[in-house]
Structure formats: structure tokens, C-alpha cells
Structure 1
């Protein structure tokens, strides 16, 4: 299990602003790799996330329980296939395209448990909760059905708390320290969406 890439992004307008109907929709969902296998630069992790990363809407992103967003590299093939079915003109996906800070290898929503801890480089993280996509994900992916596809496929990724800050880099091994292991990320998402009150 390994850290493949680390990505960060600044707040910007999701829409081009070139069309008359374009609204100002601020988001930092557009992430770009800042540490990769080819250039494994060390990146500082603080209690509220990656040092150079931003979040536009702190009501739904960021904070202690959503400090860092992790996404499996294994899920990228699914999205590439889905997008090609929509349009062959959509650009190829690069790490960070899901809005994730950490692109991982060796994990899935079915085997990541809420409460598990991850030791990565100097950093200690804790799995907190699944990611609930919104309309901004649709815009970022160039596909109006992207959020629904994330929900129905269960390929949500997950948020992490920072228990111990420090430096990490692409290529670091991820050591899992099991928690109580009663609820996987997939199960957590399924329970949430099956409850109409969303409580």
C-alpha cells in the first residue's frame, strides 16, 4: 500500500467566465500533483490539511474531519471509461482530478474502515468519512452525471483527520493501524444514502 501522488489546489472560478450565463462558482476542487514518483518532493501536512492546499466552502470541505481527501488510483480506470462514453473530446485525467490530495494504491472503499489510522512518512492520519459529491464535481469532470455515478458506483474516496503533522512524499509506504473495524467507507456511504433524512 503506497502513496502514489500528492495534489493541492487554489480557490478559483470553476467556469470559464466566457459565456453570458457563466456564474462565479468558486472552488478548489481542481488539484494538481505537487509530489509524484518522478518528482517525490516532500510536502508538509498540517492539522487542517496539505500546506499549499485550499478549500472554498468550509461548510462542506476542510476542517479537522475533512482535512485531507484520499482517492484510490484503482478507480481512475472507471472514470476514464465513463468519460469516453460521454465524449471522446474530454481531456485525460491526471492525479488530483477527483479533487483528492492523496492518490493511493492498494486501497478500496470496501476495505478501508472508519477509524483506521495510517502512518505515512512522518504523518499519522485517521480515516474519518466518505466523500459526498456535489454539482461542483460534475463541472470539474465535464459531465453532468459524474456525481450520480460516484454515488451509485461507490467510488467515493474518503476523508482523513490529521493526528500528527509532518512531511510526506509520493512513494511513501502507507502502514495501516487497524481501528475497531465495524464500518467500511462503502458501508458508511450506503447507510447515508439509504436514509432519506440523511442524519
Structure 2
């Protein structure tokens, strides 16, 4: 992999944590959102950093949510917005990065950190557990509205890293779809849908959503030939036969 021409960023902190029980109203909830900085080298392998776990693997963790990255610059913004300094790891990130535009990272962009390589694949969609961590049930909505989602990354190549390591962008796809673009995709913009379909590195959950939404949009507007072409290309690349794809696209429309 050749390095993309840009100044390297820096790992400010590597944060890990194990699930714990916390009180949420009258309930006890198990969550892994509490993360704390650790010293030394940390191994990245499989779907986790060493010492890190998720409480509910149905919605957290796994291949497409192995590691969560957040920018120090976004922490600075939140500190000004909230009038209080947030400790690193507060929003549940594993990697706190400086000098890396995490929100505008391109889906499929790869970061070399230490001996490991990570691949950007989707934004974070905040759930109620971020509200628990912040002591504010309304904070997840505020976090989403701020347009600073951070990025989930896959472990593309196993290795180890630590605080003060450089972050080097070693690959950046040409399609240009960014993390924040994906976070705005539910706006029903057909042009943005086509861009999601053109990003093969996108997380499976988002790709499935984009295909379903694009099929629905195309059936409402079968004259959108660009959307049809984008859908056809993506479905063929997923392994469907040409006849199956054409049947799916040329079936009866809505209404």
C-alpha cells in the first residue's frame, strides 16, 4: 500500500473497557461504553482491541464495528459546546486521534497505526447508552445533530499500536463517499444513495439499507437510469445472476 500524500496524524489515546452494570432509571443495564486510556502497546486482532469488549454484540462490535475512532478536535468542540472538558474515552471511542479528519474520512480509507492497519467503514449512530454515559437521555439526539459522528473501522491488518503513534493514510478510494455523507444518507437523496452503492467498502448493514432504499426509490421512479445502473452494478458484484437482477429491477412498480 502506498501512503496518501498528507501530513500524518497522531494517536492521542487508546481506550478500552469491559462491560459493566449501571443504573438506568429503575433498571440495571449492562454496557461497554465506559472506556479508559491505557499505556503501552495494545494488540488489534479479530474484532477487538486487547482488553476491550462490547456488552451487546447484536448492535455493537463485530467486523464492521471492531474499533471506534473519534477526533480530539471534535472533543475540543464539545468542550466548548458543553462548557466542560470531557475526558478522553467519554464518548466510547477506542482511538482518540489528533490531526485526522475522522468525520470526513473516506469510506474504505486505511490508516496505518503502529504495525496495524484499520479500514474506515461507517459512522457511529448513537444509542441510548451514550445518554447513560453522559447523564443526559437527550444527548444521543444532540450528538447525532452535531454532525461529528466519529468512525467505526475494521481491523484490516492485525498488529499493535499505542499512544503517540503516527496515523498514516495509506489508501484512499476514489469514490469520495465520507463518513459524514453516510450519516446523512437517510435524507432520501437519490444522488447520495447512488454514492453509497458505489462504495464497496461500506459496512454490510448500511449497504443492505442502501440497496433496499434504492430499490424502493427506483420503483417509484423507473426513469432514473443512473440509479438503475448503480443498483445493477452493486447487485451483480454481490453475486446475483444477471437475470435475477433484471427481474428485481424490472418488476412491477408501486401504485
Q: TM-score range by the shorter chain?
A: 0.7 to 0.9
Q: What is the CA deviation profile of residues 141-162 of structure 1, one whole-angstrom value per residue up to 9, with x for unaligned ones?
A: 1122211111111111010001
Q: Tell me what 1:38 maps to.
A: none
> Structure 1 residue 33 and structure 2 residue 27: aligned?
no
Q: How big is the alpha-carbon RMSD for the aligned residues of Structure 1 and Structure 2?
A: 1.9
Count the aligned residue pairs: 182
Q: Distance in 2 between matches of 1:164 and 1:186?
A: 24
Residue of 161, 171, 186 corresponding to 2:180:
186
TM-score, length-scaled by structure 2: 0.67
What is the rounded CA distance, in whole Å, between the counterparts of 1:13 and 1:31 in structure 2? 14
- 1:43-72 superposed Cα distances (whole Å, 9 cap, x missing partner): 111121101001001111110111000000
Counterpart of 2:17 in structure 1 is 9
Q: Distance in 1 between matches of 2:22 and 2:74?
A: 23
2:132 aligns to what SS in structure 1?
helix
In the other structure, the counterpart of 1:54 is 53
* Equivalences for residues 65-84 of structure 1 within 5 A: 65-84=64-83
- Name the SS for the 1:10 alignment partner: coil
1:137 alignment partner in structure 2: 130
**Contact residue 138 and residue 144 of structure 1 kept, 8 A:** yes
1:6 counterpart SS class: strand
Larger radius of gyration: 2
Q: Deviations over 1:123-153 (max 9, x none)?
A: 0110010000011101101122211111111
Alpha carbons 2:36, 2:89 under 8 Å: kept: yes
TM superposition outliers: structure 1 runs of 4+ over 4 Å: none
SS in 2 for 1:140: helix
Give the unaligned 5+ runs of structure 1. Answer: 36-40
CA distance in 1, matches of 2:103, 2:16: 26
**Contact between 1:14 and 1:140, CA under 8 Å: does it hold in 2?**
no
Query: Which residue is equivalent to 1:107?
Result: 100
Residue 164 of structure 1, CA deviation: 1.0
- Greater per-residue helix proportion: 2
Secondary structure of the residue aligned to 2:27 is coil
Q: Larger relative contact order (C-alpha < 8 A, sep ≥ 6)? A: 1
Give, in angstroms, the shift of residue 30 of structure 1: 0.5
Q: Secondary structure at the match of 1:65?
A: helix
For 1:110 and 1:24, the matched residues in 2 are separated by: 33
d(CA) in 2 for partners of 1:137 and 1:14? Answer: 12
Counterpart of 1:30 in 2: which secondary structure?
Answer: coil
Describe the shift of the 1:60–1:158 C-alpha distance in structure 2 as closer, same or farther (beyond 3 A): same
The alignment partner of 2:143 has SS state of: helix
CA contact (8 A) 1:115 1:181 kept: no
